[in-house]
Structure 1
Amino acid sequence: MDAPKPLDTQASATMLVLCMVWGLQQVAIKAAAPDIAPILQISLRSGLAALLVGLLMAWRKQRVEFAHGAWRPGLAVGCLFALEYLLVGEGLRFTSASHMVVFLYTAPIFVALGLHWKLPAERLSPLKWLGIALAFAGILLTFVGRSAPAGADQPTHVLWGDALGLLAGMCWGATTVVLRCSSLAKASAAQTLLYQLVAAFVLLLLAAFVLGQTTVHLTPMLWSSLLFQAVIVSFISFLVWFGLLRRYLASQLSVFTFLTPLFGMAFGVWLLDEPLEIGFVLGAVCVLAGVVLVSSEAWLKQNFQRVKKQLSAA
């Protein structure tokens, strides 16, 4: 395999489109919520995406490996993935899509904390600790003195939805830690994705029946949302993402992902008429700045050194 290369114009444009797609995901779930409960919606989209991934693996003649206990971390990441989206689905019943996407993308903070504890090579530097402190200060700021967005009954309900979004971010972070610290680190991207999608389909379908969230109104919005989430988000976008990771520097690709919450907030305001409180906006800026410091330290240092050399040469 060739060494990863820096981003070019095509890769940058592709990442911009991916971030827009990912930012639109929560908005699509929220928009279709009157016709199908978010939990059932996520379950069905996961089942359809799992079928597509399975067909792709069959076409590539890839097999799902269960040797050497690989099913154990596979089951763990599947359950964590299902729990993440259970929290997302429930949270979207109480808070806005723009809030949800910001809290969900706190995941890198919890990844950094988990890997600091699990792997000696991933110890946090002072800059990363600063990023974590900044992100948590932003989280506290977003929870203080905010009114309820459109579609929520009371501010306390909104806070509950936001809290579920934060817990979903923790679950996403825990999923990444399990992937990095288990035999799944050497598994194919399709196999890892299949574990997560199958578990989400089964467990969230069960949760939808237990919670009585099975009412479905067959509307164009429902079909559009399901097809967008299953085919575009859960299947195509992740395969494109994994393909980019094989060819380009992961640190540079990761920087682009911080645009996703910004797109999510913009789409929520534009398409769903969701208001943005000044306290939430300021808190979200702190959260995203902290996430950038934690996840992009190497990239930031590299560019700082390059600018420093250019100034010295001038």
Structure 2
Amino acid sequence: MSTATLSARRAPDGFAILLMIMLCAIWGLQQVAIKSTNVALAPVFQAGLRSAIATLLVWGWARSRGTPLFNNDGTLGAGLIAGVLFAAEFVCIFIGLSLTSASRMAVFLYTAPCFTALGLHLFADGERMRRMQWIGIAIAFAGIALAFADGFARPANHGSTLAGLAGDALGVLGGIAWAATTVVIRSTRLAQSSASKTLLYQLAVSAVVLLMLAAMLGEARVDTVTPLAVASLAYQAVIVAFVSYLVWFWLLTRYIASRLSVFSFLTPLFGVTFGVLLLGESFSGRFLAAAVLVLVGIAFVNAPVRRTRRNDA
């Protein structure tokens, strides 16, 4: 894979920015969908079913478009690694949520764009970050910390300091796994693969890992079937895991990944907003200030490079 191929990706334009905002809204609404499905399916089993259903959808989509999925293009090793990392992210999130609060998990999980920027800066051509962009990432992360400051200041769910620290650590590990997945996709042969094939690796591997883990934990069962739970699982499988992830990986083939990933700071803000609108949850006044910080940080990261002209006269 040539350096020229990797470096050809460009900064997000208006179309990419609009798509990223839509994706973050979809991912934010997913938090509400997961809560709605928890009454019927245990979280890990829920995540495994979602991946399994989406795997079939991606396979059918690729077949209908004639996209090759099983050709020997040298992506198998990187694809399996990306799939394991994708599954590890969800394992860390779901187990971590049983040890620490959702607010603390949100703060630690959304270290992911920071790790993504660092990993791409080190390992991917055309992804080096300038000082202003690092400042932007720091500002956006500060916004996330401010948004969830109330919950972050409280102890973990079970009141155990050790358990809380373990949950926080799993949040960071989940963020690292999320970031590492993007870095693997961007810096290996997967960067030249189709979005369908890249997504299929992750969904198929994560479906196997998560369903096996659910069986080991005794969670592979259906407790209560309700229309809302079915609709919520369908939303996760079809809209999130199939449609939105396909769009995300398509964007990664055309735009600078580090500048795209910073938009994911919007996801927990959308999650809180949908929680207020759909679940009757509340938020503090500092949430608006936090949203402004996130937007400012995103603007810093995606600000155009100023080129000074030298006057040699």
Note whether the superposition's TM-score is higher than 0.5: yes
Alignment partner of 2:303: what SS?
helix
Q: Are 1:79 and 1:200, in contact at CA under 8 Å, matched by a contact in 2?
A: yes
Aligned letter for 1:201?
Answer: A
**CA separation in 1, counterparts of 2:29 and 2:216?**
28
Aligned letter for 1:79?
Answer: V
Q: 1:133 to 1:6 in 2, by over 3 A?
A: closer
Q: Which consecutive residues of structure 2, in runs of 5 or more, have no partner in the other structure? A: 1-8, 307-313
Q: Is 1:90 aligned with 2:95? A: yes
How far does the alpha carbon of each residue in 1:82-123 deviate from its partner, in whole angstroms, 9 at most, with x for none? 101111222333456565455434322111111233246544
Quick check: 123-132 or 69-78, which moved more? 123-132
Q: Is 1:115 aligned with 2:115? A: no
Q: Is 1:215 aligned with 2:221? A: yes
Task: Tell me the equivalent position of 1:300.
Answer: 303
The TM-score normalised by the length of structure 1 is 0.75
Aligned letter for 2:180?
Answer: A
The TM-score normalised by the length of structure 2 is 0.75
Q: Are 2:112 and 2:176, in contact at CA under 8 Å, matched by a contact in 1?
A: yes
Quick check: 128-137 or 194-203, which moved more? 128-137
Q: Is 1:195 aligned with 2:198? A: no
Question: 236, 240, 243: which is aligned to 2:243?
Answer: 236
1:1-314 equivalences in 2 (<5 Å): 6-7=13-14, 15-95=20-100, 100-119=105-124, 121-131=126-136, 142=149, 146-147=153-154, 152-154=157-159, 156=161, 160-217=166-223, 218-241=225-248, 257-272=264-279, 288=294, 292=298, 297=301, 299-301=302-304
Q: Are 1:23 and 1:267, in contact at CA under 8 Å, matched by a contact in 2?
A: yes
**CA separation in 2, counterparts of 1:143 and 1:155?**
18
Q: 1:99 to 1:33 in 2, by over 3 A?
A: farther
**CA separation in 1, counterparts of 2:19 and 2:220?**
36
Q: Are 2:113 and 2:264, in contact at CA under 8 Å, matched by a contact in 1?
A: no
Question: Paired residues, what number?
Answer: 296
Q: Are 1:75 and 1:195, in contact at CA under 8 Å, matched by a contact in 2?
A: yes
Q: Which consecutive residues of structure 1, in runs of 5 or more, have no partner in the other structure? A: 306-314
Shift of 1:169: 1.6
Alpha-carbon RMSD across the aligned residues, in angstroms, is 4.1
**CA separation in 2, counterparts of 1:95 and 1:140?**
16
Identity of paired residues, percent? 47
**CA separation in 1, counterparts of 2:266 and 2:152?**
26
Shift of 1:39: 0.7
Q: Are 2:127 and 2:256, in contact at CA under 8 Å, matched by a contact in 1?
A: no
How far does the alpha carbon of each residue in 1:236-281 deviate from its partner, in whole angstroms, 9 at most, with x for none? 22334456677889898667544322111222344455565789x5
Alignment partner of 1:191: what SS?
helix
Alignment partner of 1:300: what SS?
coil
**CA separation in 2, counterparts of 1:139 and 1:52?**
33
Q: 1:291 to 1:190 in 2, by over 3 A?
A: farther
Shift of 1:186: 0.2
